[in-house]
Structure 1
Amino acid sequence: MTPSRLVPLLEQFDFACRRLTDRMAGPVMDSGDGTETSVSPLTDEEYLWEPVPGACWSVRRRAEGPGPRATRLDGTGEWGRDAAPYPHPSPPPLTTLAWRLSHLAEMLFLRADHTAGTHSLTRDDYAVAGGATEAVAAFATGAAAWRDALLGTDEAALDEVGRCTYPHGSDAEEPFVDIVWWVNQEVLHHGAEIALLRDLYRVRQR
């Protein structure tokens, strides 16, 4: 049985993921008041669009090298995501829709592995999607993996410090319920950023 404290967090996660997926894939999305609004599927051009040309962190072909103020491309395969060691550049670079969506998908997939999987995967093991269709599918895969990991959680596990061994956060020092909450706010706030970038792309030439 799902712990009572986890139920509203799961419901929030499901809602946030569904709303973000609908916002990217269409053909309709919930406008926020329960009515359906038409939305065009995300294209490769929009996925890689740089609102400020020459100043954004994004997803790039590995052969092209990292973007402005980035020192490496995280991930494996033909594509990678702009990154730099801590402390990050200040002020922080503007990130593209591709960067934000890749970050979300990777975080969900790796945290699932470090909760209920091998506890070994790193960013170097994660294949970064170079196109919109693949990126939306990768987000869905990551979300499903994280949700499956949560379903194996009982009341005692929610209070367990270090239940998740994800190496790119404070997971080792936090009760698991706090990590669940944190993942939700990551989906919510990056989902809102992606929605804004879609709006800006749609009206950019008006």
Structure 2
Amino acid sequence: MSTNKRFEPLLEQYDFAVERLLTRLAGPTSDSGDGRGVEVPMLTDAEYLWEPVAACWSVRRRVDGPGPGALKLLGAGEWGRDAAPESPWPPPFTTIAWRLDHLTETLAGRASHLGGDRTFERATYESRPDAAGAIGAFREAAADWRRAMLGVDESDYDSTGLTTYPYGSDPEETFPSNVWWENQEILHHAAEIALLRDLYAHQAR
């Protein structure tokens, strides 16, 4: 399938955002902004689950129940992500684990409901309890979403309902709008994760 000029910048932005986040999580180096590679240590399990303030939302053992202010743990398996039926205001502070798991879930879900079998449900999604597993899951979900995007023909770009992802406004939006939304999700959560990594490193010193 070919891509048109309108989609190319969105795809380039997506690739940049995903690669930037992966190198910020797993290294071994990341571009400092001036073309120099800065050494980046691999995210550890302790850092992945670090709760820098009280009442953080995170990824937790299901047997321990949800964290402060959360009413449930999303997904299946031994671990789940803090959640509530309605997003609280102000929003809770979330850990690297919560933010990375949220990104992975949305990417996997959107890939399934655009170019996949459209069977993805949050109820069966499994959160990862460890940093390496979470990074691997994000990498896989990001690749799945990229393949799904490239499978859309440019003649369908302005059609609504290409994706049936049920946890957002995706069915009412055009394809470029769906892509733009996921891009900004990665960009802003990646920036938050990068800041949390910096804070963790500095408090350890």
TM-score range, shorter chain: over 0.9
The offset of 1:92, in angstroms, is 1.2
What SS does the aligned partner of 2:199 have?
helix
Shift of 1:128: 0.5
TM-score, structure 1 as length reference? 0.96
For the Cα contact (< 8 Å) 1:3–1:154, is it kept in 2?
A: no
**Aligned equivalents of 2:145, 2:75: Cα separation in 1:** 19
Considering only aligned residues, what root-mean-square deviation do their CA atoms show, in Å? 0.9
Q: Alignment partner of 1:57: what SS?
A: coil
Q: Displacement of 1:68 after TM fit?
A: 0.5
> Percent sequence identity over matched residues?
59
Shift of 1:4: 2.1
Q: Residues of 1 paired with 2:61 and 2:146: CA distance?
A: 30
Question: Aligned to 1:3, what secondary structure does the other structure show?
Answer: coil
1:159-198 → structure 2 map (5 Å cutoff): 159-198=158-197
Amino acid at match of 1:134: G
Secondary structure of 1:95's partner?
coil
Structure 2 spans left out of the alignment, 5+ residues: none
Give runs of ≥4 in structure 1 deviating > 4 Å. Answer: none
Q: CA deviation at 1:156?
A: 2.1
1:130-141 matches, cutoff 5 A? 130-141=129-140
1:103 and 1:109 map into 2 onto residues whose CA distance is 10
Does the residue aligned with 2:80 lie in a helix, a strand or coil?
strand
What residue identity is the alignment partner of 1:28? Answer: T
**TM-score computed with the length of structure 2 as normaliser:** 0.97
Aligned length: 204
Specify the alignment match of 2:62 in structure 1. 62
Q: Which residue of 2 aligns with 1:73?
A: 73
Q: 2:83 matched to 1:89?
A: no
TM-aligned CA deviation for residue 34 of structure 1? 1.3
Partner of 1:158: 157
User: Structure 1 stretches of 5 or more lacking a match?
Assistant: none
1:118 aligns with 2:103: no
What do the CA deviations read for 1:2-58 (whole angstroms, capped 9, x no partner)? 2222111111111110010000001111112211000100000000000103x1000
Provide the rounded CA distance (Å) in 1 between the counterparts of 2:27 and 2:188. Answer: 20
CA contact (8 A) 1:57 1:67 kept: yes
